[in-house]
Amino acid sequence: MSQDKMYLYLDNNATTRLDEEVLQTMTPFFTEYYANPSALYGAATKPKQALEIARNQTAILINAHPDELIFTGCGTEADNTAIFSGVKCRPTKKHVIISAIEHPAVTKAAESLVSRGYIITKLLPTKDGVITAKSVATALRPDTALVSVMWANNETGVINPIEEIGKLVKANGSMYHVDATQAVGKIPVDFRKSLADYLVFSAHKIHGPKGVGILVVRQGACYFPLLLGGSQEHECRAGTENVAGIVGTGMASLLARQNLPIMQTEVSLMRDWLERQIVNIFGSEIIVLGNKAIRTPNTLMLAIHKANGRELQSYLSNSDIAVGIGSACACLKTPKPSETVKSMRVPLDYQLGTLRISLSKYNSASYGGSFKDFDQLLAALANWKIKRGVVGVAPPKLNKNN
């Protein structure tokens, strides 16, 4: 709460605020029901049962069977597990297809296979950021072991035709992995219909705790665990369960399902309104990435002519506004455009000027938010635009009455 008062937090694709109900559900599993759920004494009963309740709650959100869920330590672990398992399931095939716009959790795991003799094909999106079924059909080969395409992109929010791609992948006999981390909780995600062998998402993107990933493995699909050790998660992922985190994930999943209509109406309206306001400020100096495609309702990715996204992000941060930029690692000295932006063929002089605004239900009226809350952002952007038009003059102070 206090952070919300200080900050206009608009980086919900990076992480989300933990729901109060989620925290309340988790707390007793730190303080009271802390026994190891694998133990055989009575104190283990409650945590053991709680794990199964959470598994059910989480499975319902994505139309999966509870036994198909494996809780991991993060989305990254779930993605890595899926990729390494997928290729192991087709040992004689040495070709892997991923999209060029995947999160590093997928890209880096897939690229690591090159040293083991794999050939990786990276699919380019359309200029609107979509990975088409046609591009998958063209890239598939008899020796394709695995295809990995994300459900929605983390930078643009653009949604891919997962089911259509699934039909092609399954007809080819390849394993199919779908990173749904940015789709779950924002749009309806139906694991069964997706035809995925492996589907991944992450609790902290749906107002759940950090440190819990969910790997869904289709019943009967081939699977090899990444972590070996104890027999937790039906021998599919060793390591003592993060009971409180998993219990929180169950509650977050339940709430995410209830809140889908808010995402699709109120949040979507706000995003569209905000997009119009920002385009009004910048006119022909701005491109909205992916707005001709179907996007998740909360995401707005902008590219400003000859701007430096990192500098703009820091300028907004001085006005207590948190936004993403979408470009590669902030640790790099020289900023580089993100792979997603490059692969969408965004004109060169816009590529470094990206800004990602990602909303949540907390911005909506149902959760006490209002369109007025964005005045702070619009004023700051208008000021920044004036400032950059006047060479050699210090940035103007943000005027609250703007």
Residues annotated as part of the active site: 329
Q: Nearest Cα to 244, choosing from 19, 20, 23?
A: 23
CB of 210 to ligand PLP, least distance (A): 7
Q: Per CB under 6 A, does 103 bind ligand PLP?
A: yes
> Among 8, 19, 62, 75, which residue sits at the site for ligand PLP (rule: CB under 6 A)?
75
CB of 96 to ligand PLP, least distance (A): 17
Q: Nearest Cα to 180, choosing from 197, 162, 200?
A: 200
Q: Per CB under 6 A, does 74 bind ligand PLP?
A: yes
Helix axis angle for 243-262 and 45-61, nearest 10°, is: 30
Distance CA 384, CA 314 (A): 11
CB of 75 to ligand PLP, least distance (A): 3
CB of 102 to ligand PLP, least distance (A): 7
Stretch that binds ligand PLP, among 68-76, 191-199, 316-324, 363-371 (CB under 6 A): 68-76
Which of 19, 79 has the CB closer to ligand PLP? 79
Q: Per CB under 6 A, does 202 bind ligand PLP?
A: yes
Q: Per CB under 6 A, does 339 bind ligand PLP?
A: no
> Among 87, 98, 101, 105, which residue sits at the site for ligand PLP (rule: CB under 6 A)?
105
CB of 265 to ligand PLP, least distance (A): 24
Two tokens at 110?
A: 């897939």
Identify whether the C-beta of residue 352 lies closer than 8 Å to the C-beta of residue 330.
Answer: no
> Among 181, 253, 299, 354, which residue sits at the site for ligand PLP (rule: CB under 6 A)?
181
Which of 75, 337 has the CB closer to ligand PLP? 75
Q: Per CB under 6 A, does 179 bind ligand PLP?
A: yes
Q: Per CB under 6 A, does 131 bind ligand PLP?
A: no
CB of 105 to ligand PLP, least distance (A): 4
Stretch that binds ligand PLP, among 70-78, 88-96, 221-229, 255-263 (CB under 6 A): 70-78
Which of 166, 209 has the CB closer to ligand PLP? 209
- What is the β-pairing status of strands 69-72 and 213-217? antiparallel
Q: Nearest Cα to 298, choosing from 268, 325, 318?
A: 268
Site for ligand PLP in 213-272 (CB under 6 A): 213
CB of 221 to ligand PLP, least distance (A): 20
Q: Per CB under 6 A, does 343 bind ligand PLP?
A: no
Distance CA 14, CA 330 (A): 13
Identify whether the C-beta of residue 220 lies closer than 8 Å to the C-beta of residue 208.
Answer: no
Stretch that binds ligand PLP, among 24-32, 71-79, 122-130, 253-261 (CB under 6 A): 71-79
Q: Per CB under 6 A, does 208 bind ligand PLP?
A: no
Q: Per CB under 6 A, does 37 bind ligand PLP?
A: no
Q: Nearest Cα to 340, choosing from 162, 187, 157, 189?
A: 157
> Among 80, 148, 182, 364, which residue sits at the site for ligand PLP (rule: CB under 6 A)?
182
Q: Per CB under 6 A, does 86 bind ligand PLP?
A: no
Q: Per CB under 6 A, does 185 bind ligand PLP?
A: no
Residue nearest to ligand PLP (CB): 75
The site map against ligand PLP for 134-153 (x = CB under 6 A) is ----------------x---
CB of 3 to ligand PLP, least distance (A): 19
Footprint of ligand PLP (CB under 6 A): 74-76, 79, 103, 105, 150, 154, 179, 181-182, 202, 213
